[in-house]
Structure 1
Amino acid sequence: MVRGLLQRRTVLAGLAAGVCLPQAAVAEDFVDLDWVDLLPENETAIPTFLRGIVDHDAAPLASQQPASSGVRTDWNGQIVRLPGFMVPIEHRGTGVVAFILVPYVGACVHVPPPPANQLVFVTTQQPYESAGLFEAINVTGMFGVSSVSTQLAEIGYALSADRIEPFRA
């Protein structure tokens, strides 16, 4: 009798947990980051000269990338949301599945890339139908420090995107 009661309680507890867990997984538990949060403490924002228009006949933009002063590990393994602009790297069909998230329009394409600690390599299982390089987006997913090298720039962070959506403050 006692054994049957314990088994029934175990089953009921398991069912209750199964009902509650999916709702917990959907909860919007993420850390809202801004680009300054990715800089080491006491480092200032990106120099304004990097945000200007450059001569495209000069040296490749990647060679003009300033050195990074380091990265922060505060959010390793956490779910974060970060706004920015997409520089596509890989497509599947008509959607983007890998891109560099940059803090301002034109970074890595029309102006030299910012330091590695201001770039995030994003991958996603679900292709994102981008509206173009000028579309501001929010990316939410698992974040971490990662050294990635592309033809466009050296990148200091990576994010495995669960959600990509048009930017909303």
Structure 2
Amino acid sequence: MTFCQRFLTVIILALPGAPSLAAPVQPIEWSTLPNPAAQVFEDPFRDLNDEQADDIRFALRLRGRLQQDVGSAEERQKWQEMLDETEAALAADQIDIDWLMSQREAVIQRREIANTTGNPVIDDQIVSIVGYVIPVAPDEQGRAVAYLVPQPGMCSHLPPPPPNQMIRLLLSDHWAPDSYYDHVSLTGRLAIEPTEYETFVIDGQAPMRATFSMEVQQVELLGSGEDQFNEFLTLHDRLRAALRSKSSDPADSP
């Protein structure tokens, strides 16, 4: 049955054979999913503004170029002058490139923990959450599965979300999403159960790292996936056109 055949109304499907919702249902937001304790950490890169970040990248490129045996003496002198000027500007903002680079690996590890750990408060709880469904092929045991993400377009035209912003859905035989990015409210038992798969999404393979799984017990259909995705593509195309317009050379205009 297609979404149009449902007359585009909100339909609640209490899945036959699913466990009863004896426990109270806890409505949650996506912001509830990450472990709050892992979100607070020292990240000196987070405090950089765009200009400072660009200066650091520029200085590192100049350093790399000067370390190679390339360029004429005149070019190398110019590169060194630009490097000295850029590093002086950063030093005026109390930014030490060498110290920042020494912190890079530690910051990467802290960000990975922040993006992958789940909130223990909602582990093994009956919850409801609103999102967008990505249908995928059945798992190795033949069970129907899917994924829930916060925004339409994720894992296809947008990058995948962090693992603790993705839920692997374990479905019954009585419901499966009709199309990509159906807008739904799902109720079921949420568990911290990290998984990692690679699967086909719309036009190519996509990594699907999910911190959570959910045994789906109830589905509320809020909107057509086709409509949601078309709206996303329209906005995406408008933004790309605007960026191309901004980056075009005025000399090319008639």
Which TM-score tier does this pair reach, normalised by the shorter chain? 0.5 to 0.7
Match of 1:35 in 2: 30
Bigger mean CA offset, 98-107 vs 158-167 = 158-167
For the 8 Å contact 2:135–2:179, the answer to whether it is kept is no
Query: Mind listing any 5+ residue stretches in structure 2 that lack a counterpart?
Result: 1-19, 41-110, 199-206, 224-254
1:32-56 per-residue CA deviation (whole Å, 9 max, x = no partner) reads 0110011222749xxxxxxxxxxxx
Higher strand share: 1
Tell me if 1:100 matches 2:95.
no
Structure 1 unpaired stretches of 5+: 1-24, 45-65
Deviation at 1:28, TM superposition (A): 7.9
Contact 1:68 1:115 in 2 (8 A): no
Among 143, 152, 177, the alignment partner of 1:130 is 177
Give the corresponding residue for 2:195.
148
Q: Any idea what SS the aligned residue of 2:156 has?
A: coil
1:97 Cα offset (Å): 2.5
Preserved contact between residue 73 and residue 144 of structure 1 (Cα < 8 Å): no
- After the TM superposition, which of the residue ranges 128-137 and 82-91 deviates more from structure 2? 128-137
Normalised to the residue count of structure 1, the TM-score between the two structures is: 0.62
Is 1:114 the equivalent of 2:147? Answer: no
Q: CA RMSD in A?
A: 2.7
Greater Rg, structure 1 or structure 2?
Answer: 2
1:67 Cα shift? 3.8
Amino acid aligned to 1:110: H
Equivalent AA in structure 1 for residue 166 of structure 2: L
**CA-to-partner distance for each residue in 1:53-87, whole Å, 9 max, x for gaps?**
xxxxxxxxxxxxx8451221111111110111111
Alignment correspondent of 1:54: none
**1-side partners of 2:22 and 2:191: how far apart?**
21
Give the share of equivalent positions with the same residue, in percent.
19
How far did 1:90 drift? Answer: 2.7
Please, which of 212, 228, 243 is the counterpart of residue 157 of structure 1?
A: 212
Q: Which amino acid aligns with 2:24?
A: D
Structure number having the greater helix percentage: 2
Call closer, same or farther: CA 1:30–1:113 in 2, change over 3 Å: same
